[in-house]
A and B are shown apart, each in its own frame.
Chain A
Amino acid sequence: MNFKLILNIAFHLLQARLKQTIVAAVGVTFSIAMFIALVSFMNGLNDLLDGLMLNRTPHVLLYNEIKPSENQPIFLSKEFKNNTNFIRSIKPKDIGKSIYNSKTIISVLKKDIRVIDVAPKVTSPVFFNSGTIEISGVINGIDVLSEEKLFKISDYIVDGNVTDLLQNNSIIIGKGLSDKMLLSKGDIIKITTSKGNLASLKIVGISEIGIAEIDNVMSYTSLATAQKIVGESTNYITDIQINLYDMASAPAVAKEFRNTFNLDTIDYQTANSQFETGSTVRSIISYAVGVVLLIVAGFGIYNILNMMIYEKMDSIAILKATGFSGNDVQWIFISLSIIIGLAGGLFGLLFGYIFSSIIDIIPFETASLPTVKTYPINYNPLYYGIGITFALFTTTIAGLFPALKASKIDPVEIIRGK
């Protein structure tokens, strides 16, 4: 088949109906542009909201859970081995929050090629003292550099600098805490641990995540300071946080580490299942709206091609009489719709990008999100790929039926009919 000739004929037919062609293409452009803008915006918001919670959650967390021992003494007895044993009033066994042999585990994990980085953490409940008032809270002893690498905590520091935590006896407290206790950067805060140890730390920063529950209780200090406050050695680690290159593999990796290190593990997906559901639903909505827009554009193309076929009956008849097969005629009309789809789609991508950029510079200031100044946009090239694929797919389908009709036109009927 001579595609060059077929394209040439398609172009000439388009030129003859330039106005309608442009209207059809604009329909596609509009749909694709809206689709791109909508999906980018929706996913930008998704990323922002997910980031609030999910960025703060490691892909895999290793810790000791307080739970009853799985192997009760009765199970060891040969005498009752084949019996069903009922045990009442089991109490959980405290094996301590400290991860046994943590240094070795960390060094093994750091060598694992699947792991981006490992961030050890010491978490302890504490009381923040302000005069006679005690406010309960949590202190997180973090490895500042790896914590920053994995969770970008500097994004949430509204005052001060996260690297100042590297100094001895320094602390970053939540915005809620600082407001309640009227403390600001440079002040000294007194802390009592659950075991009664007292410590005075210098505030080097204020953090604000935007979730009041967290901002009211959270504080950060360095690993060494935290170990000192709780009165433990430098081996004392309560949590090991791991981020993986392949986030989707987290459940499998979590299970593997549970067996390897004999620790409790929880993966990202399990810890945040409700957030995942929300993101998925939002994505589905934006795709659904995009698809609907494209279907509407598809009907426009269908109409215009149908009209064109009625107008061009004579031309189709003469093409057939002079040696073009039904197949050739079909391809002429399919290429017509592909040309409309491609031109409309490419402009759609361009306008979609422009719309996204405009949304991206609209100011969006909210107290709960200190680092966000404008509406978030996700410029993922994938959406542009999906957009142009959709455009071509719907226009081809829309063109297919008129094209089939054109291919079946009987030239004799038209030539005789005159």
Chain B
Amino acid sequence: MENNVILETKGLSKYFYDPVKFQVLKEIEMRINYGEFVSIVGKSGCGKSTLLYLLSTMDTAYEGQIYIHNELVTGKTDRALALIRNEKIGFVFQFHYLLAEYNVLKNVMLPGMKLGKYSDQELENRAMKHLKTLDMEDQALKMPIQLSGGQKQRVAIARALINDPLIIMGDEPTGNLDKKNSDLVFDIFNRLTQEEKQTLLVVTHDTDFANRTTRIITMEDGKIIS
């Protein structure tokens, strides 16, 4: 069963030092298995976003260990971590965070171009395929500024998918969307787990959204309580 674990933490603690020393995360032990659709919920300030940033390898100031696909990532260089993010993790943020300088298609292709595994032609085909499943193929050549919030979030999901990541992480991916678009994003996520066995880890305070995922991790005061 070891091989089924995508993400694992051991004794993960995190402190904030400003204005006073404060322990945000306390000895977090968690595991996420292949194909799970996990949501992390909790009150504002309980440390759920902080946990996600640690797991995403972007924040490296912590104690304890993080394993991605049974590989210890704690203590790796900036360059190695960037490669892990590029290859194994897809991101969807609350605010879409598309590059305003590129059109939709290029935005989706960019992480793939960085990875350099596929030729540009191939990447374009893959990007178009993803946009098509998200019902966005007719927007491919528009600039991000011409899209609505829900459309931008779908582009961000397509971008997260381009390198076939082990896990997609979402930080309040529906936090900025109305009910209709939230449902749309949830349906996309759900379809990905059901059909593609895509592993998903989503931080949210939307209980409706969380209740529909396969596993809910509830946090309080820097600890996992269930």
Q: Chain A 235-255 against B: per-residue CB contact (8 Å), 1 yes, 0 no? A: 000000000000000000000
Contact with A along B95-109 (1 / 0, CB 8 A): 101111110000000
Contacts of A372 in B (CB 8 A): none
Residues of the B chain whose Cβ atoms lie less than 8 Å from the Cβ of A16: 100-101
Set A315, A325, A328, A410: member contacting B99, Cβ < 8 A:
A315
* Cβ–Cβ contact B101 & A2, under 8 A: no
Contact A315 to B100, CB < 8 A, known contacts A323-B87, A415-B171? yes
Quick check: is A317 within 8 A (CB to CB) of the other chain? yes
A321-B97 in contact (CB<8A): yes
Q: Would you call A13 an interface residue if the criterion is a C-beta within 8 Å of the partner chain's C-beta atoms?
A: yes
Q: Tell me the minimal C-beta distance from B180 to chain A in angstroms.
A: 23
A256 is an interface residue with CB less than 8 A from chain B: no
Complex-state Cα separation, A236 to B124, whole angstroms = 90
Query: A416 in the interface, Cβ–Cβ < 8 Å?
Result: yes
Does B193 sit within 8 A of A, measured CB to CB? no
Q: What residues of chain A lie closer than 8 Å to B94, measured between beta carbons?
A: 418
Say whether A324 contacts B82, CB under 8 Å: yes
Among A1-32, those with CB < 8 Å from B are 2, 5, 9, 12-13, 15-16
A416 with B49, Cβ < 8 A, contacts A315-B101, A324-B114 known: yes
A315, B93: Cα distance in complex, Å:
13
What are the residues of chain B within 8 A of A323 when measuring CB–CB? 82-83, 85-87, 111, 114-115, 163
Q: Which of B19-27, B53-61, B133-141, B184-192 forms part of the interface with chain A? A: B53-61
Most buried by A among B83, B85, B101, B163: B101
Instruction: List B35-93 residues whose CB lies under 8 Å from chain A.
Output: 49, 53, 56, 58-59, 78-79, 81-83, 85-87, 91, 93
With an 8 A cutoff between CB atoms, is B113 at the interface? yes
Which residue among A12, A315, A323, A326 has the maximum number of chain B CB atoms within 10 Å of its CB?
Answer: A323
Interface contact B95-A418, CB-CB below 8 Å: yes
A333–chain B nearest beta-carbon distance, Å: 14
Q: Point out the residues of chain B lying under 8 angstroms from A324, CB to CB.
A: 82, 86, 114
Query: Are B114 and A321 in contact, with the CB atoms below 8 A?
Result: no
Chain A residue nearest in CB terms to B113:
A5
* Residue A163 at the chain B interface, CB threshold 8 Å: no
B110 sits at the interface (CB 8 A):
yes
> Given A323-B82, A324-B82, A411-B58 in contact, is the A2-B113 Cβ separation under 8 Å?
yes
Q: A412-B53, A412-B59 are in contact. Are A325 and B79 (CB under 8 A)?
A: yes
Which residues of the partner chain B approach A161 to less than 8 Å between Cβ atoms? none
Of residues 341 to 396 in A, which have CB atoms within 8 Å of B's CB atoms? none
Contact A12 B102 (CB under 8 A): yes
For B106, the closest partner residue in chain A by CB is: A12
List the B residue with the shortest CB-CB distance to A8. B113
How far apart are the CA atoms of A9 and B109 in the complex, in Å? 12
**A327 contacts the other chain (Cβ, under 8 Å)?**
yes
B100 touches A320 (CB 8 A): no
Q: Check B49 against A5 for contact (C-beta < 8 Å).
A: no
Per the bound structure, the CA–CA distance linking A319 and B59 in Å amounts to: 15
Measured in the bound complex, the distance between the Cα atoms of B78 and A411 in whole Å is 12
Q: Contact between A322 and B78 (Cβ–Cβ < 8 Å)?
A: no
* Inter-chain contacts of A415 with B (CB < 8 A): 53, 93, 97, 171
A-chain residues with CB within 8 Å of residue B91 when the two chains form the complex: 321-322
Q: Which residues of A contact B111 (CB under 8 A)?
A: 322-323
Chain A: CB-nearest residue to B93: A415
Query: When A328-B82, A416-B49 are in contact, do A322 and B95 touch as well, CB less than 8 Å?
Result: no
Measured CB to CB, the nearest residue on chain A to B53 is A412
- The residue in chain B whose Cβ has the minimal distance to the Cβ of A12 is B101
Which A residues are CB-close (under 8 A) to B163? Answer: 323
Q: Is B159 an interface residue (CB 8 A)?
A: yes
Chain B nearest CB from A311 CB (Å) reads 10
Tell me which residues across on chain B come within 8 A of A317, comparing CB atoms: 97
Q: Which of B79, B110, B171 contacts A322 (CB 8 A)?
A: B110
A99 to B: closest C-beta gap in Å = 75
Docked-complex contact B97 and A318, CB < 8 angstroms: yes
Bound state CA distance, A323 and B57, in angstroms?
10
0/1 string, B143-173, CB within 8 A of A gives 1: 0000000000000000100010000000100
Contacts of A325 in B (CB 8 A): 78-79, 81-83
In contact, B79 and A327 (Cβ under 8 angstroms): yes
**Shortest Cβ distance from B81 into chain A, in angstroms?**
8
Q: Report the minimal beta-carbon distance from A309 to chain B, rounded to whole angstroms.
A: 14
CA distance A64 to B100 in the complex (A): 83
Q: Which residues of A contact B83 (CB under 8 A)?
A: 323, 325
Given A2-B116, A320-B82, A323-B85: 7 more A-B contacts, CB < 8 Å:
A321-B56, A321-B58, A324-B82, A327-B79, A410-B58, A412-B59, A418-B95
Can you list 8 A-B pairs, Cβ within 8 angstroms, ordered by A? Answer: A9-B101, A13-B101, A315-B99, A326-B79, A326-B82, A327-B78, A415-B97, A418-B94
Residue ranges of A at the interface with B (Cβ–Cβ < 8 Å):
2, 5, 9, 12-13, 15-16, 314-315, 317-328, 410-412, 415-416, 418
What 5 A-B pairs come out closest when comparing CB atoms?
A323-B86, A325-B82, A12-B101, A322-B111, A318-B97
